[in-house]
Amino acid sequence: MKNTRWRGGFLSILMAFAMLLAFAGCSSSGGGSDGKNASTAGGAVSDGKESVILAITGEPSSLDSADANDLNTFSIQCNLYDGLIRQEKDGSLVPGLAESWSYNDDKTEITFTLRQGVVFHNGDPMTADDVVYSFERALASSATARITASMEKMEKVDDSHVKLTLKYAYGPIESCLANVNCSIVSKAAVEADAKGFARNPVGTGPYKFSSWDSGSKIVFTANEDYFRDAAAIKTLTYQLVTDTSAALIALESGDVDMIVSTQAADRENIKNNSNLFYDEVSASSFYFVAFNNTKGLFAENPLLRQAVAHAIDREACLLGAVEGVGVECPSPIPAPCFGCPEGFEGAAYDPDLAKQLLAEAGYPDGVTITIKTMESGVYAKVTEIVAEQLRQVGITANIEPMERTAFLSDVYTNCEYEICVNSYTALNPDADFIMYMRYHSDYLGGGNNFVMVNNPELDGYLETGRTSSDDAERKTAYLNACELMKKEAVMVPILSTMNGVACQANLKGVTANTSQKQYVYDYYWE
């Protein structure tokens, strides 16, 4: 019996330990890497410091540019590779490995003049063959589908020219070409070891791959032969710190130099810390409530969808889920994206109207629904607030929090849900990336259009948005699409979060990025 009593004590100690670990886990992992001069939180003078330790909360899925399709992976790879076109940290598009380019008359062919004298990390010169090979690889990979959907083929014209043929004129093609998926890789290196390329990449970017210690850290070193001159930061270490609170403490103690994706609750604290620099920008992603528009309760009953739309108070969601650090998202196109309708108003928060709609929908005594969502972070919080708001109008919402892979399989792949809370991210800040494949009937079900909306009118707007090269026309098309989706209550957009970055105050050149990219090439110590 004594034993049992101790087991109780042991459990409580275990719990306390778990909490302590969450805080302390970083201190053992951060220090002592790569001969870095341990900087103190006091912002000591960093004369001659040439390394940066950047805390990441998750490892990249791969370091192969043709096998990347999430923001975290992009943000790391953008330091390894260059594309023909380069995106600056302010979002502007400038020549990268191509010195210049020109379109044909109907904008379906682009001819690039390649930069001469660029070498890969392994010393080989970059040639037109490498460019063609890189695009062939990217086009063949399923991971790049969202970026390369409009591209037909890449051909070599001569040693310094290549020609890209498009399936149709595509407005945001240049931002696609600046995406990591369209990076130029060394043909020789891939052919030498195609499988090993994901963990031993060879590109032309400002940093070369040095080592990857799974579950711990990834180290890059500056490419001294970089065509824009070598970077000021010579050693770049990505340190894996899965817990965001632990990452912040590591930053405060100087164990890491920079953290990305800061927690909203920590924002004030970071801002008030004179040793730290903080920057934030609205993310190109948004959280929303989605209905299954083809099968189940909400598909059969549009009034019920309307009732939910009017029961949701975006302001309360923004406050409760992310401390108000973000913006309300009235339309399905987040603010940083081209095509976001300015001054658009989403379904108004009106609980009385919602109750009335619920009664009209045939449920005067309320209805019980099950909301599926992911169990982590903002998803769970938004869902909890939404469920409470629905309860206020008479809809009993049971929450089914799911583990990420189970959620992806149930909701994205199999569309087995009636209502869910989810988020979309525009890989490039253009409405096409967050609209076409999500709501066009060509992509119904199976991982893309999982809200299962099938509306010819909407299809038309999305097609115009994708193929028109007239900005005004595209904007109008997206405005119409947003209006239509609001009218049909296809889904209920709620909020966009802020992407926050924090670093030591004497690390300069750091800015928050809509797509969470960190261009370490621009960083330097002062």
Partner 1 sequence: MENTKTKEAGGMPAPTKKNSQLKTIGKRYLKNRLAVFGLVLFLVLIILSLGAGLFADYEADAITHNMQARLQPPGADHLFGTDRYGRDVFARVLFGGRISLLVGTLTILISLAGGSLIGAAAGYYGGKVDNILMRIMDVFLAIPSILLAISIVAALGNGMMNLMIALSVSSVPRFARIVRSSILTVKGQDFVEAARAYGCRNRKIILYHILPNAIGPIIVQATLSMANTILMISSLSFVGLGLPSSIPEWGSMLSEAKEFMRYDPYLIAFPGIAIVLAVMAFNLIGDGLRDALDPKLRN
Q: Which residues bind partner 1 (CB under 8 A)?
A: 1, 4-5, 7-9, 11-12, 14-15, 19, 22, 245, 263, 265-266, 268-269, 315-316, 319-320, 375, 380-381, 384-385, 387-389, 392, 398-399, 401
402 phi and psi angles, rounded to 5 deg: -120, 155
State which residue, 14 or 94, has the beta carbon closest to partner 1. Answer: 14
The encoded tokens of residue 386 equal 């939404």
State which residue, 370 or 468, has the beta carbon closest to partner 1. Answer: 370
State which residue, 113 or 269, has the beta carbon closest to partner 1. Answer: 269
State which residue, 88 or 268, has the beta carbon closest to partner 1. Answer: 268
The encoded tokens of residue 228 equal 């824009």
Q: Cα 231 from chain centroid?
A: 25
Q: What angle do CA 475, 310, 483 make, to 5 degrees?
A: 20
Task: Supply the minimum distance, in Å, between the C-beta of residue 299 and partner 1.
Answer: 25
Task: Supply the minimum distance, in Å, between the C-beta of residue 377 and partner 1.
Answer: 10
Helix (H, G, I), strand (E, B) or coil at 118: coil
State which residue, 73 or 263, has the beta carbon closest to partner 1. Answer: 263
Distance CA 390, CA 494 (A): 14
Non-local CB neighbours of 421 within 8 Å, separated by 6+ positions = 287, 288, 289, 290, 371, 372, 373, 379, 382, 383, 386
State which residue, 46 or 245, has the beta carbon closest to partner 1. Answer: 245
Range 60-81 burial, b when 16+ CB lie within 10 A, else e: bebbbbbbbbebbbbbbbbbbb
Task: Supply the minimum distance, in Å, between the C-beta of residue 337 and partner 1.
Answer: 28
Beta bridge partners of 83: 183
State which residue, 159 or 315, has the beta carbon closest to partner 1. Answer: 315
* Nearest in space to 177 (alpha carbons), one of 428, 464, 468: 428
Task: Supply the minimum distance, in Å, between the C-beta of residue 248 and partner 1.
Answer: 9
Task: Supply the minimum distance, in Å, between the C-beta of residue 413 and partner 1.
Answer: 20
Give whole-number Cα distances, 142 to 132, 159, 227, in Å. 18, 29, 31
Task: Supply the minimum distance, in Å, between the C-beta of residue 524 and partner 1.
Answer: 31
Is residue 220 within 8 A of residue 209, CB to CB? The reply is: yes
Longest dimension (CA), the chain: 87
**DSSP assigned state of 83:** B
State which residue, 31 or 401, has the beta carbon closest to partner 1. Answer: 401
State which residue, 296 or 401, has the beta carbon closest to partner 1. Answer: 401
State which residue, 132 or 385, has the beta carbon closest to partner 1. Answer: 385
Within 13 Å, how many C-alpha atoms sit on residue 44's CB side?
13
Give whole-number Cα distances, 171 to 28, 285, 417, 430, 432, in Å. 49, 20, 34, 9, 9
Strand pairing report for 258-260 and 51-56: parallel
Task: Supply the minimum distance, in Å, between the C-beta of residue 392 and partner 1.
Answer: 8
State which residue, 182 or 402, has the beta carbon closest to partner 1. Answer: 402
Task: Supply the minimum distance, in Å, between the C-beta of residue 446 and partner 1.
Answer: 26
Task: Supply the minimum distance, in Å, between the C-beta of residue 273 and partner 1.
Answer: 12
Non-local CB neighbours of 174 within 8 Å, separated by 6+ positions = 85, 93
Task: Supply the minimum distance, in Å, between the C-beta of residue 23 and partner 1.
Answer: 9
Task: Supply the minimum distance, in Å, between the C-beta of residue 375 and partner 1.
Answer: 6
**DSSP assigned state of 409:** I
